Amino acid sequence: MAASPAVRSSIAFEVEALLTRLDRIRPFAMQTPMVLAAALSTEAQLSIERYLARGRRHLRSLAQAFLRRLHQSHTEPSELQRRFVVLRLVFTRAFNQFDMFADALSQRAQHDFGIWIGGLDAVAEDALALPGNFYQAPPVVTYLDRGMGAAIRRARTRLPGGGSNPVSLIRVPRERMVGGGVGSSLVHEVGHQAAALLDLIPSLRQALHERQRLEPSRARLWRLWERWISEITADLWSVARLGIASTMGLMQVVALPRAFVFRLHATDPHPFPWIRVHASCAIGRALFPDPQWRALASLWSEFYPLGPDAPAEAAALAAHAPELAEFLAAHRPVALHGLSLREALRVHERTPRRLRQLWRDWSGDAAVIAAARPTLAFAAIGQARSDGHLRPADDGELHAKLLQAWALASAVSFTSRPPLIVSPARLTH
Give mean pLDDT, residues 324-331: 97
Q: Side by side, which strands form the sheet with 140-145?
A: 140-145, 168-173, 151-153
Give mean pLDDT, residues 263-283: 94
Provide, rounded to the nearest whole percent, the portion of the chain with pLDDT above 70.
90
Quick one: CA torsion of 310, 257, 294, 379, rounded to 10 degrees? 140
Long-range Cβ contact pairs of 361-369 (< 8 A, separation 24 or more):
364/390, 364/394, 364/398, 366/398, 366/401, 366/402, 366/405, 367/405, 369/398, 369/402
Question: Which among 417, 395, 407 is positioned nearest to 182, based on CA atoms?
Answer: 395
Give mean pLDDT, residues 190-213: 96
Q: Does pLDDT of 424 surpass 60?
A: no
CA–CA separation, 23 vs 17, rounded Å? 10
Residue 103 in 3-state DSSP?
Answer: helix
CA–CA separation, 243 vs 191, rounded Å? 14
CA–CA separation, 348 vs 363, rounded Å? 22
Contact predicate 134/335, CB 8 Å: yes
pLDDT range class, residue 416, cuts 50, 70, 90: very low
Write out pLDDT tens, residues 83-113.
888 898 888 888 777 777 777 777 777 666 7
Which residues make beta-bridge pairs with 291? none
Give mean pLDDT, residues 67-71: 85
pLDDT range class, residue 428, cuts 50, 70, 90: very low
Q: What are phi and psi of 206, to 5 degrees?
A: -60, -45
CA distances from 268 to 220, 225, 230 (A): 16, 12, 11
CA distances from 217 to 98, 112, 211, 310, 375 (A): 52, 55, 11, 21, 40
Q: By mean pLDDT, which of 64-78, 193-207, 273-287, 391-405 is the weakest?
A: 64-78
Helices and strands per DSSP (H, E), number in the chain: 19, 3
Residue 94 in 3-state DSSP?
Answer: helix
Secondary structure element (H or E) that encloses residue 105, with its range? helix 77-106
Write out pLDDT tens, residues 133-151.
899 999 999 888 776 678 9
Quick check: bond before 172 cis, omega within 30?
Answer: no
Give mean pLDDT, residues 31-50: 72
Residue 317 confidence (pLDDT)? 97
User: ∠ CA(177), CA(178), CA(182), 5° rounding?
Assistant: 70
How many CB atoms are closer than 10 A to CB 413?
12
CA–CA separation, 379 vs 249, rounded Å? 11
CA–CA separation, 81 vs 79, rounded Å? 5
Q: By mean pLDDT, which of 31-40, 98-107, 195-204, 417-426 is the weakest?
A: 417-426
Residue 201 confidence (pLDDT)? 96
pLDDT range class, residue 429, cuts 50, 70, 90: very low
Question: Which among 322, 337, 409, 417 is positioned nearest to 370, based on CA atoms?
Answer: 409
Give mean pLDDT, residues 387-408: 89
What are the b/e assignments for 67-98, b being 16+ CB within 10 Å? beebeebebebeebbebbeebeebbebbbebb
Contact predicate 130/240, CB 8 Å: no
Under the phi-then-psi rule, with left for phi > 0, alpha for psi from -120 to 50, and beta for the rest, what region is 251?
A: alpha
pLDDT range class, residue 423, cuts 50, 70, 90: very low
Mean pLDDT of the chain: 87
Q: Does pLDDT of 282 surpass 90?
A: yes
Chain-centroid distance of CA 286 in Å reads 24
pTM: 0.82
Residue 415 confidence (pLDDT)? 43
Provide, rounded to the nearest whole percent, the portion of the chain with pLDDT above 90.
53
Question: Which among 396, 394, 401 is positioned nearest to 37, based on CA atoms?
Answer: 401
Give the largest CA-CA distance in the chain.
84
CA–CA separation, 188 vs 234, rounded Å? 5
